[in-house]
Structure 1
Amino acid sequence: MHRPSETRLRFFGLALFGLVVVADVGYLLLVRGLDLENHPLLTYPIEPDVDDVLGSIATATVGTVLTWLRPRNPIGWLVTVAGLSLALCTAGQAYGARALVLDDRLPFGALVLALTAGLWVVSVFVPVTLLVVRYPTGTLSGRWPARFERVALTGLVVHYVGYSMTREAVTDVVRDTSSVLTFQPVGIPLLIGGAAIVLIAAVLIIGEAAVRIRRRPGPERSALLLLLASTVTAALVIFFGPTERFGTVAYAAVLVAMAVGVLRHGALGIEVTLLTGDRNDPFAMLNRLGVPMGEAIDDQTLGSVLARLRDALGVEGIGIAGPAGAQVGTLPAEPLEVPLTFGGNLLGTMRVGPRVGRSAWTGADRRIAEAVAPLIAAVLHAVRIAEELRLEKERVVSATQAERGRLRQELHDGLGPALTGIGLGLDALAPTVPGEGAEMVSRLRAEVSSSLEETRRIIDDLRPAALDGADLVEALRRRTDQVRDAGLLEVSLEAPSVLPSLPPPVTAAAFRIAEEAITNVVRHAHASRCTVRIALDDRLVVEVRDDGVGWTGPRPGGVGTASMTERAERLGGTLLIERAEPGTRVRAELPVGAP
């Protein structure tokens, strides 16, 4: 299914915000003249409610900002839906009242009243249920939250439909229902049932969120706790508060909680660094630096750490002077310099610029820089060790490949022809040897043939014969054609028409992994189809996917999985085997920089 681009999603969010503004402006225009005391048709005088207008616009504004920053995260869309529901509710009620009371030229007044009355409940319970269950990451944390979400959504739909079918959807605003077509016997049960479902879902979601608060890491826990407290309080105040003004303030508190969650705790993955950075929050600073330090170390690690440190300190630039130097941002001519030592060895010098908006650094800046210097020195040391290991691995792989090539050549040009010659000699000798001697010659001939086959197998293991005179794609195409033509499996190959030249170890490992995965599908998967995909970006990706019974773990006594994993890891790559829907997916990623 085609997914809309993030740009299109952002502009759709702006369009929804524009709809909220139009609805609020329409409400202010339509509500004029409806503040009539003791009117025979109006249930109560309708006065312009600035609180509802400001509430819907503020809610939609927060939602639009979040959808712009994270267009694929549902949190922003849920907030926008809450604001849009409130705006459409107030505008629809004003339109319906005006059409039935003041201006009979406006059509469908009762219908608009019925369709928009239930949106008020949507605007209140979307934050309490659908927003809370996904906050702060936008994802569901398990099967039960997903079920609770579906229950809440079902309840909201049932309640809205039921309320729209009742007489009260109109008589709450206008007394005259002579022109109203209602379905009271159906609407009332749906209204009550939907409300009960929503309340049950809200209790379950709030309970699940309370459990999730204990399990989340610090920043997420704080953001979720703040939002949960504000939404529950807002819902209680809106339904049981003494005046509507209290409800408006409580609803605004939810928006404030979301703003604090984003600005202070990085909710939705949005990091906002103010002028002071994280220098006043040591935990946040360590947490920010700890993310890249916990990941795999490569040539991008040092730059990533420096970028996070610059944001945490709120400085214009930071860099390291030395053999493995790096710099993020801009540095002045005379920056603050702090030596980086590890194990008594000087690795380099950390150079720190002034804080944003200042022209010089202070004594507090020096103390903070000196405090984080050991961490940066440890990262720098780890980067150097990782680089040395990478170079050593490349040297070992190169030496191994050279030795494998030499052995293959010697077996191919020496032992193989020698065994073939012995076999021919025994064939010539057999007719001249009588009796038991002939039987001995026959057994020797069989042993020579077996040794020759074993030699050929070893030669092929050192480098697959299928790759002689063919590139990886052509060799795999031949292999998949063989499997398909034999009637074993329907196999398809998805690969670029031309691959650039790859290092021989990478080509051999990729072919062997794909071949072993296809063999496993034929033998164990009970599949009807299999797809082999080859892709090349910064790494060579080999993926084999089938529609069989699914991966259940390595088979006892089997060596295929271990062999594939060893081939990938020997080159510094990775191998992943997992269940798919349906079947199994084997995915290998190999660095194309391997020698």
Structure 2
Amino acid sequence: MAFRARGLQTDPMWVPRAAVGAVAVLVGVAGLAGAAAEGFAAAAYGVRLPLTLALAGTLVGVGWSVAGALLAWLRPANAIGWLLLVVGTMTQLSLTEEAFAAAGWLGPAAAAGDWTARAPGLVLTLVGGWSIMAMLGTLPAFFPTGRPPGRTWWWPVGVVALGAVLIQLHWLAGQPSDDPLGAVSFVVYLAGAATIWVLATIRLARSAGPRRQQLAWLLGSVILIIVVNLLGDSLVAQVAQITSLYLLPAAIAIAVLRYRLLGIDASPRADPVRIVTEIGTHVGASADTEGELLTAVLAAVRRSVAAPGARIRDASRSVIACSGDLQPDAELPPTAFSAALAVGDLPLGVLEVAPKWPEEGFARREERMLAALAAQVAAVLHARSLAEQLEAQRDAAMDARTRERERLRHELHDGLGPALTGMGLGLAGLEDAIRASSATTALQITGVLRAEVARTVSEVRRILDDLQPTALEERGFAEAIRRGAVSVAAALPVSVEVGPLPALPPRVEQTAYRVVAEAVTNAVRHAGATRLDVCVRGDEGDNLVIDVRDDGAGFDPSRPPRDGIGLASMRARARELGGELAISSSDAGTTVTLRVPAAVLIA
């Protein structure tokens, strides 16, 4: 019981829907009672009309009320359903009262047609007659939105209402139809109704599907009702007149079932589990060649709501996938479905789905379906993005491996190769000195070889440390930079200053360490410097900034030396981090600056 109470509180339309239910029960009871009275009158007093026809005439109000109750229940805010429900209710109560009077259940006077004995019936007949005439004249103005399309429509609506009042007053006065009041009443009514119908016809011609079909069925049924009610009082005419009264709820049923009146979708519902399974099948089978995965997923989304087209925009609003008739640059109607695609707090893009009927849009059930599928599309888009990032990282790893091999080749060729060659030549000279019994020369050569071996061992250690800088793990980034620069510079004076640093990922530390080592090595080998300054700091934007300065001869940055590791390798390392390497050089020395943006640091 508590659950039901919460349900009523959360449904803002429970009061009008409860009223619809109560009125529907009232009309149903009145219809059954009227049918019983009609059957009793036929059996007791003779048949006024064929019983089937009489019963059909007695239940006309039920048909109108059912159509009105359906629309009022599904769309409580729309006046069309309430209009049909009120008119149908008044009509049914009036017909039931008339059947009661004919059956003699209201007394002999009422059965004889004495209106003084049927005061409630008189009121119901007047109100019911007025409501029917007013509805038939003004319904095209209110259909299907529940309000006239513009202010100019209210003038003929008011004229129709006034004409219907005058017609009922003329009937109440019992005057002949050709007296002045009757003529004026019909002229006023027809003038207003004709104006509305002319405007409705123009509106019909300008409308697009499905609004045109909805209006056509309504206008056609109302025209037929009016025409057949001018045929007279013959039995055939009465059959046609009673039958025509059921055309209005039939036309509304067609508008709902076939053309989704008011966005009410009575078509078979798509199975969300099947759609999600289909999306999963595409994810598992597609290699996403040029967006095939997203196109297949969009096709499944379209099929779930019979949409003509759908597309996906990425976070920058660029269209990355389309399906169906929707073009990348096509403008969507205001009724199109749009949902933001996100995983957690990460925005991925937007899902846009074009409606089959631009004027009607999507039914609420379809919007709920699309909203649920949007989460699946977001997951697919995120998975695709992760796959692309993984592919890019794999390519970057392959490129980095290739560059590392090239760097190692240069190291061996330009560093160890000449050193070993020199030692080989020294050993040959030492051999010659020994044969010549020249101890002095042999000792000199031995000293040179000893120094060359020491330099070669240091170079090998540096190369090994570049391959896997263990100093970072043992000493930390700042101390590793300080000791590494001093070790590479050997006897050259080096000043290392490390300021406050942002948090650095391991990959950033390793790459920065190697860039500093390479810059110091190049300065030692090629600059002829007498001093080196290394500054490592974080700037106001939490960027990592490293400056390596020397006081050497300098060079032209546009024509760097070909030997050594090379500036191209340092620039490549900087680009791996999304950073940049800047070089300024003059006769007073060279400065190499590495800058890594904060976006890379927190990635």
Shorter-chain TM-score category?
Answer: 0.3 to 0.5
The structure that has the greater radius of gyration is 2
